[in-house]
Structure 1
Amino acid sequence: MYISFFNDFAREAIGTGIVLILLVLLRVITTKLVRRYARLSQTIERRTNLVIKYLHLLINILLIVALIIIWGVDAKDIIIAVSSIATVVGVAMVAQWSILSNITSGIILFFSYPFKIGDTIHIHDKDFPVIAEIEDISAFYISMVNKDGERIIYPNNLLLQKGVSIINTDLEPTDFTD
């Protein structure tokens, strides 16, 4: 029974084995590269783990597509499945655009590293200007504390849309207010 299966699907089985080996190698390599980058830029471990998780998810999706191709799933069936998934994801994206844009912004902030925890920043927002010290940077938002001790949670996607000044930490934020 097993010999018959292997004879019938030898190419697919070997291809699957190669894809699984590639999965392990890509995950190890991306993890090491992101950790090295994080160490050089002195990024927090929690942010590093979050980016690694996103990259692993992307690798897993690509390798699932590779397995589908290797096992010869009919293109017509793939198109039907992808269009169904795209419809569901499209509706979810409209409903959850803010969450997805915050995650994307969090990844951009991780790699561009414009500011770090402990920096005092000024967000140039006409309606709600903010001058505060960064306490935490997560996937969805930045947590800050202003001079009055008020905690401010600012979404990552809005942070990338606004002008931000990094204020010299030797100076008091009140030196820059009107």
Structure 2
Amino acid sequence: MSAPEFVDVAINDLSTVERVAVTVVSLAALVAAVLFSRRESARRESRLSTVAAAVGAFAVVVVTTVVVVVAWDAETIAWAAVASFQVQATMLVRAFLSVMFLVGVYVGTGVIHRAVSRFVKRTEGISEHQAEITYRIIQISVYVIALVIVLNLWGIKLGGLLIGAGFAGIVLGMAARQTLGAVIAGLVLMFSRPFEIGDWVKIGDKDGIVTDITIVNTRLQTFDGEYVMLPNDLVGSDEVVNRSRKGRLRIHVEVGIDYTADVDEAMSLAKDAMGDVDDILTVPRPQVVLKEFGDSAVVLDLRFWIDKPSARRKWRAQTAVISAVKSAFDEAGVKIPFPQREVSGRAETGGFRVSEQPTVEATEPEDADQPGSAVRKDSKHEGDADDADEEDETDE
């Protein structure tokens, strides 16, 4: 008895329970193979290993299907189903070539990704984010070219598709021009990267910490606890000040001294006071610069640096500097003046004089003590006097 005949006899002798058992075992083997291939592809993290795992899983599916069909003696039904499709050989060849080409493109993009990553590691001045954006642009371009090649392989004319895509692009561009503008600005921001997540920035009149950067908007958390979402087109068109990029920040504090004070002494006192503050950097050294003649004082500009800029560190250093300089001026008798104004009269109008107002003492009328005399008063004054008498009696 030959091997095929032995297999046919063995299969025909199987009972229904045995056929069910063979089916269950085959399906269990299929599930185990799929899980194993997924685990291996995740562990190796390679496009080639992923493709190999997919091919292995497909082979297991084919074998499992054949085993189930043979176990239930359904070969005749299976061949009839295949024959009913009337698949031509050319279509099979096209399908095979298309699948193999797309698999090759998928593996090739993985190779490009690794090449870009190695290039970034060897090159200074290119961030990982910029490399990722570059890879995504290359990946999309390769996929579009691959799709065009596959469509040509199947004889699909691209002229109609391109015309339809052009009209669709015009309609979408008119309907969502603001969103598309934000997306384009987001791509520019993500590639140029004027700020990173966690930076302290000022965008327009908004001041806060960057919490997220997406393709459409940028999110800030202000120091009042507010979350602000700014469209990227507004971010790209507005002024952006990044206070965290250089890792240090210079702060200015203005203080005025009296015009009669010794300017050199005041500058020396302020510089020494800032040198004793622990919250500021010693290099670069703090500076004191004469800024301007104010209305009531000579204005000094106190300049100092902090590292790892943040709003909290700025406020703390600023408070410490103001307190130290104020204490130093108080100890040395350097006056920080209040606003003052000088008033003078115009010569053509004769000017004016300011003098003390003489004090006028009230006297009683001479006839007040004469009996029977009457002092004429109007009704208002009489009422005021009566009210005053009543108040005096009440106080007594």
**Equivalent position of 2:167 in the other structure:** 87
Query: Alignment partner of 1:139: what SS?
Result: coil
Please identify, of 159-168 and 105-114, the stretch whose mean Cα deviation from structure 2 is larger: 105-114
**Cα separation, 1, equivalents of 2:167 and 2:117:** 33
**Cα separation, 2, equivalents of 1:30 and 1:153:** 35
**Cα separation, 2, equivalents of 1:171 and 1:14:** 60
- Structure 2 residue aligned with 1:69, among 144, 149, 152? 152
**Equivalent position of 1:96 in the other structure:** 176
Please identify, of 156-165 and 22-31, the stretch whose mean Cα deviation from structure 2 is larger: 22-31
**Cα separation, 2, equivalents of 1:161 and 1:26:** 38
CA distance change for structure 1 residues 30 and 88 in 2, over 3 Å: closer, same or farther?
A: same
- Please report how far the alpha carbon of residue 31 of structure 1 lies from its aligned counterpart in structure 2 after TM superposition: 4.2
- Please report how far the alpha carbon of residue 83 of structure 1 lies from its aligned counterpart in structure 2 after TM superposition: 0.9
CA distance change for structure 1 residues 119 and 21 in 2, over 3 Å: closer, same or farther?
A: same
- Please report how far the alpha carbon of residue 58 of structure 1 lies from its aligned counterpart in structure 2 after TM superposition: 4.5
The question of whether the paired residues in 2 share the 8 Å contact of 1:34 and 1:52 is answered with no
What's the TM-score once normalised by structure 1's chain length?
A: 0.67
Query: Alignment partner of 1:116: what SS?
Result: coil
- Runs of 5+ consecutive residues of structure 2 not aligned to the other structure: 1-85, 244-248, 250-307, 319-396
**Equivalent position of 1:130 in the other structure:** 206
**Cα separation, 2, equivalents of 1:100 and 1:34:** 29
**Equivalent position of 1:24 in the other structure:** 106
- Structure 2 residue aligned with 1:158, among 210, 213, 234? 234
CA distance change for structure 1 residues 69 and 42 in 2, over 3 Å: closer, same or farther?
A: closer
CA distance change for structure 1 residues 60 and 134 in 2, over 3 Å: closer, same or farther?
A: same
**Cα separation, 1, equivalents of 2:192 and 2:112:** 17
The question of whether the paired residues in 1 share the 8 Å contact of 2:200 and 2:310 is answered with no
**Equivalent position of 1:146 in the other structure:** 222
Query: Alignment partner of 2:220: what SS?
Result: strand
- Please report how far the alpha carbon of residue 60 of structure 1 lies from its aligned counterpart in structure 2 after TM superposition: 2.9
**Equivalent position of 2:309 in the other structure:** 170
Does residue 1:60 correspond to 2:143, yes or no? yes
Query: Alignment partner of 2:197: what SS?
Result: coil
Q: Give the fraction of aligned pairs with identical amino acids, expressed as a percent.
A: 18
Q: CA RMSD in A?
A: 3.6
**Cα separation, 2, equivalents of 1:106 and 1:71:** 37
CA distance change for structure 1 residues 94 and 106 in 2, over 3 Å: closer, same or farther?
A: same
- Please report how far the alpha carbon of residue 119 of structure 1 lies from its aligned counterpart in structure 2 after TM superposition: 0.8
Q: How many residues align?
A: 159
- Please report how far the alpha carbon of residue 122 of structure 1 lies from its aligned counterpart in structure 2 after TM superposition: 1.5
Please identify, of 165-174 and 133-142, the stretch whose mean Cα deviation from structure 2 is larger: 165-174
**Cα separation, 1, equivalents of 2:197 and 2:211:** 5
Does residue 1:118 correspond to 2:203, yes or no? no
- Runs of 5+ consecutive residues of structure 1 not aligned to the other structure: none
- Please report how far the alpha carbon of residue 171 of structure 1 lies from its aligned counterpart in structure 2 after TM superposition: 5.4
**Deviations 1:38-86, CA, capped at 9 Å, x for gaps:** 9x7365xxxx6x9877765554333211212333334xxx222221222
**Cα separation, 1, equivalents of 2:178 and 2:135:** 21
The question of whether the paired residues in 1 share the 8 Å contact of 2:216 and 2:232 is answered with yes
Structure number with higher helix proportion: 1
- Give the structure, 1 or 2, with the largest relative contact order (CA under 8 Å, sep 6 or more): 1
- Please report how far the alpha carbon of residue 158 of structure 1 lies from its aligned counterpart in structure 2 after TM superposition: 1.8
CA distance change for structure 1 residues 123 and 111 in 2, over 3 Å: closer, same or farther?
A: same
Query: Alignment partner of 1:108: what SS?
Result: helix
